[in-house]
Amino acid sequence: MSTNTESEKAIEIIKNYKNSSNKDLIFVMDYIQKDFNFTKDMVIKGTEHLDKLEVTYNTVLKEYKKRTNT
């Protein structure tokens, strides 16, 4: 996603945003937007994975119950 240097720069700008230049504010807004999109994509992928796990588990559980008459 980004380097530690970019992260450190973003943190410093955020800490002192009232005294930061417009260029720095644009940098940090872009940085936050990239981080937001990355995080959103990870949440979506995680949710899809959980859904697939649930379906697979329920399929196996149904077969197990059928075999054990429970």
Residue 70: per-residue pLDDT: 76
Is 90 exceeded by the pLDDT of residue 41?
yes
**Could you read off the pLDDT of 7-30 as tens digits, one per residue?**
999 999 999 999 999 999 999 999
Structure pTM? 0.75
At residue 49 the predicted structure's pLDDT band, cuts being 50, 70 and 90, is very high
pLDDT for 13 equals 98
Q: Are the beta carbons of 14 and 35 closer than 8 angstroms?
A: no
pLDDT of residue 2: 66
Contact (Cβ atoms closer than 8 angstroms) between residue 10 and residue 28: yes
Radius of gyration for the alpha carbons in the chain, expressed in angstroms and rounded: 22
